[in-house]
Chain A
Amino acid sequence: MKSVFSLGVISGILNTMIGLATPFLYAALGETIAQTSGVVNLGVDGIMLLSAFAAFYIALSTGSLWLGLLAAALVGLVMGLLMSFVSVTLKAEQGVSGIGLYMFGLGMSSLLFKILVGTVKTVQGFPPAPIPLLAGIPVIGPIFFRNSIPVYGAFLLVPVVWWMLTKTTLGLKIKSVGQNPAAADSVGISVDRIRYLSVCMGAVLAGIAGASLSLALLNLFQDNLTAGQGFIAVALVYFGAWSPVGVLGGALLFSVVNSFQLWVQVLGVKIPASVAVMLPYLLTIAALTVTINRMRQPAALNKPFERGES
């Protein structure tokens, strides 16, 4: 039995962490955009499931991974429109409509999978794309620079979302409708339109998160493929206090714990599997209790906006 703390194992744990963090990053960064505008989209897991299936099915039947990715983004967009219609236009209780979206995605992806595919099949997922020069660095190279394109994309998205939310007019508009929709409305910003846009951007990213699971990490589809990862992504947004960098930190922390437990099991350390699987969830609850910086929570989070109220 190898020691858990040898260099090989540690770099293995870190490499697995980078992969595991990918879907969390896409989904949680998307949810950060939606929540900054004041909408909690609890249906992320459902979007991920249906998109993961769409990506898998299109890639399987056309042989094109990029078409699969596009299909996932489109499914995300459609489900984002559905969520915005119910939550923004019809002003539904967001926690409840999100659960509806989740159940729809869970049931629909399983239904389509059973009818259209039927048996467990695998696809040839995105291959590792080593970055020239950087991939050659000892230790660090294999950990960070020999991953597939969707993995790089997830990490590149962190500065992109940060820039969009803090440095662009659109970002300021998104923040304003999340903080004080009435004020934003009074200066001529369409609250509903910005919220639609934010929820849909988030949903497209959730779709790509699903595709990253079925086309880059697991290379297959099965019932309830995500096993609740979308919900954890929502928790990471609170954990990261609505900042893309905070979300990155949360995603890496969660993934390193998860990766550690996977490696511990592979190495045959005597911890019951259930305890190991439980760890990340316990960590999330612990993190939620200590880290929430409520000063940063969008003031109008989870509150539908109606003109002339307040």
Chain B
Amino acid sequence: MELEESILTSGNPASRTRVLRAPAVDWSRIALNVLLPALGVVFALLLGAVMLVILKANPLAAYAALLNGAVGTRFGITQTLVKATPLLLVGLGICIAFRANVINIGGEGQIIAGALMATWWPLFFHSWPGWILIPSTMIAGFLGGAAWGFIPGILKARLNVNEILSTIMLNAIALQLMNLLLQGPLMDPAGVAARTFLAQSAQLPHQVWLPRLVPRTLLHAGAIVAVVLAVVVYVFLWRTTIGYDIRAVGLNPAAARCSGINVPTFQALALTLAGGFSGLAGVVEVIGVQHRLLEGLTSGYGFTGIVAALLGSLHPIGLIPASVIFGGLLVGGDTMQRAVQVPSSLVMALLGLVVLFVSGSALWSRRWAARRQIGEQKDREEKA
């Protein structure tokens, strides 16, 4: 990382290919990237315990119920993984976007765009066999989300529209678009016939349902797809030229511009890819879990995915454990609400504290890196 940064600041285009070689594994940096988020979670849980005591609830009982719900039973564990899957997918997109220094708050809208495509496609091509319908649905959903990410991307690149604001507005627009379609063309004909008029789509053809990994649970093959994609994103960001350019834009836009990288284009590309991965999260929710489109499908994954990405230190591989932890918190939160009547919104409040802590602690990790770099320079000078 430091090597790359120094090359970037030198702005020498010839050196761009050199850093594509694998950097040595930096264990102390990894330790720091694991330690700080872990501290953030512990800190948030402690603050949460204090709040619960003030509210006259028993924090130990609440957290015990939370833990038990997340990992206490076989079904709990599979549910944790089911929730971790969309978090991981959204988080992968967030990694790409944040690495290019664009803040993508549009996960919710992009999930909806992906889910809409993943509903319409298999309903339309319902006669196709599963082996072609499943991959094509995934691609369609990815493209749907990517289109929804492309809009703020191109607005930022061409008209310098703040992506934070445009993605937030696009969330609201996507939500209304889904409501519109669910009350119109996509509404379940069975619901219309039975005069229930539920705002949900028809059930998707069986051959598009993702295979279940564990019988009698909701754990589906999408989890494996997500993990494979995490590796793909890692390779993309650290072993390809486009990935390198995306990170260069985020690390030092001025230097990137000097070395001939078109900064706005790569930021737009990062937002588009981020949208695509969020769209995939919508796909797995539709064809893996619900088997139809219904209201409330996003469950706030667009926001919690950001937290997971931050906790994973914006690294695709670090994101895997981070999303599992967060999936566990979400599942455990629901159990906690049922078992000890502590509302699951506690989890959302705690996640907010984690984000504040992790974003605040970036200063220390930056200063630590700077100090170490100076130290290494001194060592080199002494040797020479």
Known A-B contacts A92-B359, A99-B105, A100-B352; A292 and B160 likewise in contact (beta carbons under 8 Å): yes
Closest-CB distance, B157 to chain A (whole angstroms): 12
Q: A115 to B307: give the CA distance in the assembly, Å.
A: 25
Does chain B have a CB within 8 A of A285? yes
Given contacts A86-B359, A278-B177, A285-B169, contact A110 B352 (CB under 8 A): no
Contact, CB under 8 Å: A99 / B362 = no
| B189 interfacial by beta-carbon distance below 8 Å | no
Number of residue pairs spanning A and B whose beta carbons lie under 8 angstroms apart: 150
Instruction: Determine if B179 and A274 form an interchain contact, defined as CB atoms under 8 angstroms apart.
Output: yes
Number of interface residues of A (CB under 8 A): 49
Chain B residues closer than 8 Å to A105, beta-carbon distance: 352
Judging by beta carbons under 8 Å apart, are A91 and B165 in contact? Answer: no
Q: Is A107 an interface residue (CB 8 A)?
A: yes
In the bound complex, CA of A112 to CA of B349 (Å): 11
In the complex where A99-B105, A107-B349, A281-B169 touch, is A115 in contact with B57 (Cβ < 8 A)? Answer: yes
Among listed B67-75, B121-129, B340-348, interface-contacting one: B340-348
Q: Which residues of A contact B161 (CB under 8 A)?
A: 285, 288-289, 292
> Complex formed: what's the CA distance from A251 to B310 in Å?
33
B351 within 8 A of A: yes
Contact assessment for B303 and A231 in the assembled complex, using a CB-CB cutoff below 8 Å: no
Nearest chain B CB to A163's CB is how many angstroms away?
A: 27
Q: Is B211 part of the contact surface with A, judged by Cβ < 8 Å?
A: no
Whether the pair A274, B180 counts as a contact (CB closer than 8 A) is yes
* Other-chain residue from B168, B170, B343, B352 in contact with A115 (beta carbon distance below 8 A): B343
Evaluate whether A238 and B162 lie within 8 angstroms (CB atoms) in the complex, with A86-B359, A93-B362, A100-B355 already known: yes
Contacts of A235 in B (CB 8 A): 165, 168-169
Option from A91, A97, A277 in Cβ contact (under 8 Å) with B356:
A97
A24 beta carbon closer than 8 Å to chain B: no
A184 at the interface (CB under 8 A from B): no
Closest to A40 in B: B164
Question: Is B172 a contact of A228 with CB atoms below 8 Å?
Answer: yes
Question: Could you tell me if B172 and A278 are in contact, using CB atoms closer than 8 angstroms?
Answer: yes
Which chain A residue lies CB-closest to B351?
A103
Q: Mark A218-232, 1 if CB is under 8 A from B, else 0.
A: 000001000010011
B15 neighbours in A (Cβ, 8 Å):
none
Please state if B343 and A96 are interface contacts (CB–CB under 8 Å).
no
Contact of A111 with B349 at beta-carbon distance under 8 Å, contacts A99-B303, A289-B161 already known:
yes
CA of A88 to CA of B359, assembled, Å: 12
Considering the complex, which residues of chain B in the window 72-118 have a beta carbon less than 8 Å from any beta carbon of chain A?
Answer: 103, 105
Flag if A103 contacts B355 (CB, 8 Å): yes
Inter-chain CA distance A288–B162, complex, in Å, is: 8
Do residues A111 and B361 form an inter-chain contact, with CB atoms below 8 A?
A: no
With A96-B355, A107-B351, A288-B162 as contacts: A272 and B180 at CB distance below 8 Å:
yes
- Cβ-defined contact, A104 with B165, below 8 A: no
Q: How far is the CA of A232 from the CA of B164 in the complex (A)?
A: 11
In this assembly, does B360 line the interface, its C-beta being within 8 Å of a C-beta of chain A?
Answer: yes
Flag whether B31 is at the interface (Cβ < 8 A). Answer: no
Determine how close the nearest CB of chain A comes to the CB of B163; give it in whole angstroms: 9
Q: Given the complex of chains A and B, what is the CA–CA distance between A184 and B268 in angstroms?
A: 35
Contact B173 A107 (CB under 8 A): no
Min Cβ gap A204→B in Å is 19
Minimum distance in angstroms from B294 CB to a CB of chain A:
15
- Any chain B CB within 8 A of the CB of A67? no
The answer to whether B155 has its CB under 8 Å from any CB of chain A is yes
Q: Contact at B159–A92, with CB atoms within 8 Å?
A: no
Shortest beta-carbon distance from A27 to chain B in Å: 14
**A82 contacts chain B at the CB level, 8 A cutoff:** yes
Cβ of B265 within 8 Å of any chain A Cβ, yes or no, is: no
C-alpha gap A86/B361 in the complex (Å): 9
In chain B, residues 178-224, which have Cβ atoms closer than 8 Å to a Cβ of chain A?
A: 179-180, 183-184
- B352 to A90, Cβ gap below 8 A? no
Known pairs A107-B349, A107-B351, A275-B176; A97 contacts B303 (CB<8 A)? no
Q: Is B55 an interface residue (CB 8 A)?
A: yes
Provide the bound-state CA to CA distance between A41 and B124, in Å: 44
Interface membership of B284, Cβ < 8 A: no
B384: interface (CB < 8 Å): no
- B165 near A110: Cβ-Cβ < 8 Å: no
Cβ contact of B348, chosen from A93, A110, A228, A281, cutoff 8 A: A110
Measured in the bound complex, the distance between the Cα atoms of B169 and A227 in whole Å is: 12
Closest to B171 in A: A228
Q: How close is A119's CB to chain B, nearest CB, in angstroms?
A: 13
Contact B307 A289 (CB under 8 A): no
Q: Does A203 contact B (CB under 8 A)?
A: no
Q: Does B273 lie at the interface of the complex (its beta carbon under 8 Å from any beta carbon of A)?
A: no
- What's the least CB distance linking A37 to chain B, in Å? 18
Complex Cα spacing A102 to B307, Å: 12
Q: Does A201 sit within 8 A of B, measured CB to CB?
A: no
Which of the residues B160, B345, B359 comes within 8 Å of A93, measured between beta carbons?
B359
* A-chain residues with CB within 8 Å of residue B307 when the two chains form the complex: 103
Q: Report the bound CA distance from A93 to B361 in whole Å.
A: 10
B352 close to A104 (CB less than 8 A): yes
Closest A residue by C-beta to B345: A110
A107 touches B350 (CB 8 A): yes
Query: B105, B159, B177, B183: which has the most chain A beta carbons within 10 Å?
Result: B105
Can you list 15 contacts pairing A with B, beta carbon distance less than 8 Å?
A: A46-B352, A85-B360, A86-B360, A90-B359, A90-B363, A92-B362, A96-B310, A99-B105, A101-B356, A107-B347, A107-B350, A111-B51, A228-B168, A281-B170, A292-B161
Binding site for A on B (CB under 8 A): 51, 55, 57, 103, 105, 155, 159-162, 164-166, 168-173, 176-177, 179-180, 183-184, 303, 306-307, 310, 342-343, 345-356, 359-363
14 further contact pairs, Cβ within 8 A, besides A90-B363, A104-B349: A92-B360, A93-B103, A96-B355, A97-B355, A111-B345, A112-B55, A116-B55, A238-B162, A278-B177, A278-B180, A281-B170, A285-B161, A288-B166, A292-B160
